[in-house]
Amino acid sequence: MRPLALSELLLTELQRVETDGAALPPLNRRLYLSLRGAILAGRITAGVQLPSTRDLARDLELSRNTVMSAINQLTAEGYLTARQGSGTFVSETLPELGPLSPARGRKAAQTAAQDGSPRELSQRGHLLTAQSGSADYEVQPFAPGEIDFAEFPIQLWQKLQAKYWRSLDRDLLDYGQEGGYMPLRAAIAAYLSLSRSVRVTLEQVLITSGTQQSLDLAARLLTDHGDEAWVENPCYWGARKALQAAGLKLKPIDVDGEGMAPSATDWQQGRPRLIYVTPSHQYPLGHVMSLQRRRALLQFAAQQRCWIFEDDYDSEFRFGGRPFASLQGLDDHAQVLYSGTFSKVMYPGIRLGYLVVPTDLLPAFNTGLYDLYRPGQLMLQAALTDFITEGHLNTLIRRLRVAYQARRDELARRIQRCLGERVQISGQESGLHLCLLFRDEDRVDDEAIARAADAQGMTVRPLSRYYLGTPQQRGLILGYAYVPTERVPPWAQKLCQLIRGQLPD
């Protein structure tokens, strides 16, 4: 084990002793107290080797005798152990305290830091952390939004990445300036133009770390604190939190079978600065926004000079029904910002997405993206470019679409067979999840079902948690992408039995 570099830590501790207002003890005593305190607080953990007294003296600009005096005292008291020919180490057992562990050290440090009154978050911090949008276990049967990593061509992906690491193009080691890796932006523009009818040039494509960052960037550059933002109700929790973090006032707009459904009053009196929608597959209900509703929303945005943020969530996985072009593709007034991600078709940890920006906003968005986030991962972007241009992405999407459709069909069939008319299944035509809606008269506690499912190794999300204000419906969000087709029947049976136990007779 290499000796631990302690100079910065000990210099900080020594300075703290010097500025605490008390009479200063001798230097060797101050060093002793600093090193002993760091050990007790767990900042230097059991078994760690210390630098030599010569190195410590040089780094701390102290005499070697001063350092040796402190080290010898700590060794005599049992805090340190000297091993002949090896060096000096933090003891595994401290005097009168028993075994020293990192967890115990952290707890001691936390206790020492408290002054009797809890440290308060800001109002925004309380709002953002009051309810977690993620589950304790993301990758479990029926966790919505998860995909099957087993379908991803790992070896091919490793080969594509290795090619660029071997080439060692130093430009790919820099930050991602000017919106990202230009060949990737061109590949995405071509892909979106053909697959989603997006009106786009390569200059309009910005590479981000995903939809969350794209939405955060749009909110920061296009809205001011206190502006109103329309969001679907129920709404994707990640979007809601990003907009709240930007200081926006959220106005929930109900969703019906045709998507976001503003009331007559909303159309006449609404003055939003930003509208967030998932028109291709509303999350979480799964509805597709109708063409009539799309045109009405675009007309409203043009009249009010407000922006529409289109989250084209899991649009790649459409299994039936009439396909719709993107909302951006219908926009004649350049009021729509279009966002997508590769996390749902490749793997979540890739953390690469894209934002299509109106041409007149490009200088500001390029500057904002670079100054706020310092994007990078150009090696990864280069490999992704090849993955797209060589046809691997389309091949993967076709394979996933077949696999996910089989899982969706099996899950829906099992639910209908078990629960019948006691539930309504929403959102079957596309996406990665189903939404089970309970009848109003049953008054089912979807939160209780979610907790019971979690206790049995399943992750389902209660629909009520996605509403702003009083929930209008109760239900469950069930992801089917992660469950292999052959495992759907036993897990579906387990879940259906659990639900039936919660339904009134």
Q: For 81-138, how does the pLDDT look when each residue is reduced to its tens digit (9 = 90+)?
A: 988 888 899 988 877 555 544 444 445 445 444 555 556 788 777 777 776 655 444 5
Q: What is the pLDDT of residue 109?
A: 43
Q: Report how far residue 277's alpha carbon sits from residue 52's, in angstroms, rounded to the nearest whole number.
A: 62
Start-end ranges of CATH 3.90.1150.10 in the chain?
400-502
Q: Does domain 400-502 have CATH number 2.40.50.140?
A: no
Q: What are phi and psi of 256, to 5 degrees?
A: -120, -165
* All residues at 6 or more sequence positions from 131 whose CB lies less than 8 Å from its CB, including other chains: 237, 465
DSSP letter (8 states) at residue 390:
T
CB atoms within 10 A of CB 201: 13
Q: Which fold has domain 178-315+325-394?
A: Aspartate Aminotransferase; domain 2 (3.40.640)
Specify the pTM: 0.78
Q: Report how far residue 147's alpha carbon sits from residue 137's, in angstroms, rounded to the nearest whole number.
A: 14
Q: Which residues of the chain have pLDDT under 50?
A: 1, 100-106, 108-109, 111-113, 135-137
DSSP letter (8 states) at residue 305:
T
Q: Please identify which residue in the block is written with the tokens 């629960």.
A: 419
Q: What is the pLDDT of residue 457?
A: 87
Q: Which fold has domain 7-113?
A: Arc Repressor Mutant, subunit A (1.10.10)
Handedness of CA 377, 380, 382, 387 (dihedral sign): negative
Q: What is the pLDDT of residue 103?
A: 46
Contact in structure between 274 and 222 (CB atoms under 8 Å): yes
In DSSP notation, 281-293 reads S-TTT-----HHH
Q: Please identify which residue in the block is written with the tokens 């299509």.
A: 356
Start-end ranges of CATH 1.10.10.10 in the chain?
7-113
Contact in structure between 46 and 105 (CB atoms under 8 Å): no
Q: What is the pLDDT of residue 108?
A: 46
Start-end ranges of CATH 3.40.640.10 in the chain?
178-315+325-394
Q: What is the pLDDT of residues 416-454, one digit of tens each?
A: 999 988 899 988 788 888 999 998 877 889 999 999 998
Q: What is the pLDDT of residue 396?
A: 93
Contact in structure between 310 and 198 (CB atoms under 8 Å): no
Q: Please identify which residue in the block is written with the tokens 């604190």.
A: 225
Q: What is the pLDDT of residue 41?
A: 82
